[in-house]
Amino acid sequence: MSHSYDHGGNIFTVARTLGVVPDQILDFSASINPLGMSLLVRTALICSLDILGHYPDTSHKELKQSLAQFHGLSPAHFTIANGSTELIYNLPAMLSGKKALIISPSFSEYVRALNQHHWETQHFILTPESNFSIDTEKLERALADGVDALFICNPGNPNGTLYPHRVIENIYRLCLAAGTFLVLDEAFMDFCEEASSKRMIIQSDNAIVLRSMTKFFGIPGLRLGYAISNTTLAERLDSMGGPWSVNSLALVAGTAALQDVQHNQESLEFIRQERRTLIERLEQFSQLKVYPSSANYLLVEIKEGTNSHELKERLLPHRIMVRDCASFMGLSGQFFRLAVRTGAENNRLLECLARILK
């Protein structure tokens, strides 16, 4: 079965359909750093092409060292993977139990990965009306039903909601009490690092943090992610899957990306500013409602006049892609997600939206 239509970023398929090259499409459907990869990463990649003549370093020592420095933790807490998605697919085999609860709307791959390992999945649905807030008393009752694993995304995807540390701490305590393994997916936490719950999670052998290196660092085509967990879990995860799943260039890119402090700082400030402007401009459309976001994407609700599928189709001739959120559990066909891009690109999108919505 094809995966291509269930995610943002299926730019190659769309480009072939439109008969253009991918570079001619403005992709708002994939939430990648609009400033792209850092110059340091680009240079490191070009200078490292000859290492492709060797097998990748399976110890991932250098990258673990860089991550340890970056997060102020010991290297033994990290497991490197071929994108955080690889970890999502390896986890169900490592966890004991067969029943998972997913705080939704959420990333679609959790269900796919769990289903492959014959887990039963249920959804704990958050509502747009409540701004996707989590009722912890209700969650406690849901966990009492014998849940083996709980999956939660922070910041939320596709909603961009950032749950403060005390909320995550509360959920973590509920999981400990219920004997539920907590999978905390912080794929977009680079955009608000100070809110990460990594220090709390590494104290438990019943919880794990997933991180992506492709979004913020602008290298989704290389596939790179990691887990932060206690050292026992990290060792177990390291032994899952086959050898060499992370290629040499991804390891080089990851190490260089963490070291480019200036580019990372500029990216954060740039996205913060562009996000603020984009929200203000979108809020001028009476037909749209924008949800608060701490990530590099915005969830938008269409109040009247059209739906997300139609909007997506009408933007395609303008060579603009957005993410129709109708396939997200708990969202209707009135929601779409937009990545925050550069000022000029955002303007082009706004112009097209004005034409379509008028």
| Tens place of pLDDT per residue across the chain (358 aa) | 333 346 666 888 888 888 888 888 999 999 999 999 999 999 999 999 999 999 999 999 999 999 999 999 999 999 999 999 999 999 999 998 999 999 999 999 999 999 999 999 999 999 999 999 999 999 999 999 899 999 999 999 999 999 999 999 999 999 999 999 999 999 999 999 999 999 999 999 999 999 999 999 999 999 999 999 999 999 999 988 788 999 999 999 999 999 999 999 999 999 999 999 999 999 999 999 999 999 999 999 999 989 999 999 999 999 999 999 999 999 999 999 999 999 999 999 999 999 999 8
CA distance 241 to 145: 31
DSSP SS3 for 254: helix
Q: Which of the listed residues 259, 292, 315 is the one where a domain comes to its end?
A: 259
Residue 311: which of 347, 355, 281 has the closest Cα? 355
44 and 182 in a common domain: yes
Q: Tokens in use for 314?
A: 């009408």
**Helix 261-282 and helix 343-357, axial crossing angle in degrees, nearest 10:** 20
Query: Model confidence over 169-207: pLDDT tens digits?
Result: 999 999 999 999 999 999 999 999 999 999 999 999 999
Total structural domains within the chain: 2
Query: Model confidence over 101-147: pLDDT tens digits?
Result: 999 999 999 999 999 999 999 999 999 999 999 999 999 999 998 99
158 and 203 in a common domain: yes
Q: Is the pTM of this model over 0.85?
A: yes
CA distance 209 to 199: 10
Structural domain harbouring 329: 4-30+262-357
240 and 316 in a common domain: no
176 and 294 in a common domain: no
Q: Which of the listed residues 259, 283, 315 is the one where a domain comes to its end?
A: 259
80-81-87 Cα angle (round to 5): 115
